[in-house]
Amino acid sequence: MAQIIAVSPGLYRIPLPTVLSDSTHGEIRAFELVTCRVRDADGAEGVGYTFTVGRNGGAAYATLAQEFGELAVGHDADRIEWLWQQLWWATHYGGRGGPTVLALSAFDMALWDLKGKRLGQPLWQLLGGHDNKVSCYAGGIDLDLSVDALLAQTAGNLEKGFRAIKMKVGRANLAEDVERVRAMRAFLGDGFPLMADANMKWTQDQAIRAARAFQPYDLTWLEEPIVPDDMAGHARVAREGGVPIAAGENLRTLWDFRHLIASGGASWPEPDVTNCGGITPFMKICHLAEAFNLPVTSHGAHDVTVHLLAACPNGQFLEAHGFGLERYIEEPMRIEAGLAIAPDRPGHGIAFDWAALAKLD
């Protein structure tokens, strides 16, 4: 038994190297990193984290600090499914979504990291062991860039080894979006995987109009065309727009993904391990997608998520975008010829630079 003796949360506000923007969140100047360290009686430690785009990290921190520690200490860290259920139901009335699921994601990630470390196995093997190399794309947050700046950023991403790229759409006029997508396709050439992300900007009809306008440019997917709550709307956009739809970064439960997938609303389910409830539900979402004959992609936290997509047979197109978190991680993820490499270090293999983080408090 790996008895839990401490659950130690942290909350850090990390300024971004450059201000980012998308169609929904406006300018993002900093992100919040919420960490969770779980220590067992043998002295082993697992580390998990979640993040926000700048607000409400304090609520996730409060749940970790005030509830999860008290609930988890004394129990067996190896019984992850059991612990997940305990925390889910203990906070169900005042939880079940929102920052509580972000907190649960960080805690669950720490438990899996701890298990991997105790067993001496990297997560991608522990969770299934399909292939340590995963196709990967550069996730640009670039809605405000001029076309020239967008292409310059893209040239930089090609130099970094990326062989797939995602851009933002959702500008004030659809014509501007179409021109940007056209320019990107011309620059990248036919067949190069190109995705576009609308960050929930549109109505159903606007999304269908946009998807149809993008059809000549062969998008791998159009992401989050509408608000995440409207499952029937996703199905309509997918059907009438004629472009594959990706969605999931704003869904918070396995059940949400079941609704989205079963309704035909997305052919690229896109969970985020830091906000879908952790590694435990993320893997279930991968397997749910497989059962529906769909690939699974990802949002955020690529250093951990590379393991999860490498574990299963249907993992494709890891999103590589970390808000500059790599400045606080000892060995950031490697990308070779467009493929992200899951490390062979035990657990997820991420070691935070706690001293550098402490200076941000």
Where in 192-251 is the site for a copy of itself (CB under 8 A)?
A: 227-232, 250
Cβ neighbours for 223, distance < 8 A, ≥ 6 positions apart? 166, 195, 196, 197, 198, 199, 245, 246, 247, 268, 270
What is the residue whose two structure tokens read 């993820």? 333
82 touches 71 (CB < 8 A): no
> Smallest gap, in angstroms, from Cβ of residue 14 to a copy of itself?
14
> Smallest gap, in angstroms, from Cβ of residue 323 to a copy of itself?
12
CA gap 245, 216 in Å, rounded? 16
> Smallest gap, in angstroms, from Cβ of residue 100 to a copy of itself?
4
Encoded amino acid at 144, one letter: D
> Smallest gap, in angstroms, from Cβ of residue 55 to a copy of itself?
5
- Tell me which stretch binds a copy of itself (CB under 8 A): 49-57, 141-149, 160-168, 216-224: 49-57
Question: Looking at beta carbons only, is 53 or 219 nearer to a copy of itself?
Answer: 53
- Tell me which stretch binds a copy of itself (CB under 8 A): 62-70, 152-160, 309-317, 333-341: 62-70
> Site map for a copy of itself, 268-307, x if CB under 8 A?
-------x--------------------------------
HSE, CB side, 13 Å, CA atoms: give it for residue 217. 24
Residue 255 binds a copy of itself (CB under 8 A): yes
Give the H or E element holding residue 49. strand 45-52
Structure tokens at 296: 């699974």
> Site map for a copy of itself, 152-181, x if CB under 8 A?
------------------------------
79: left (phi over 0), alpha (psi -120 to 50) or beta: beta
**Residue 287 CB-density burial (10 A; 0-12 exposed, 13-18 middle, 19+ buried):** middle
Catalytic annotation, residues: 168, 299
Where in 79-118 is the site for a copy of itself (CB under 8 A)?
A: 89-103
94 phi, psi to nearest 5 deg:
-100, 20
Q: Of 294, 236, 242, nearest to 270 (Cα)?
A: 294
Question: Looking at beta carbons only, is 33 or 342 nearer to a copy of itself?
Answer: 33
Residues that bind a copy of itself (CB under 8 A): 24-25, 32, 52-53, 55-63, 65-67, 89-103, 227-232, 250, 252-253, 255-256, 259, 262, 275
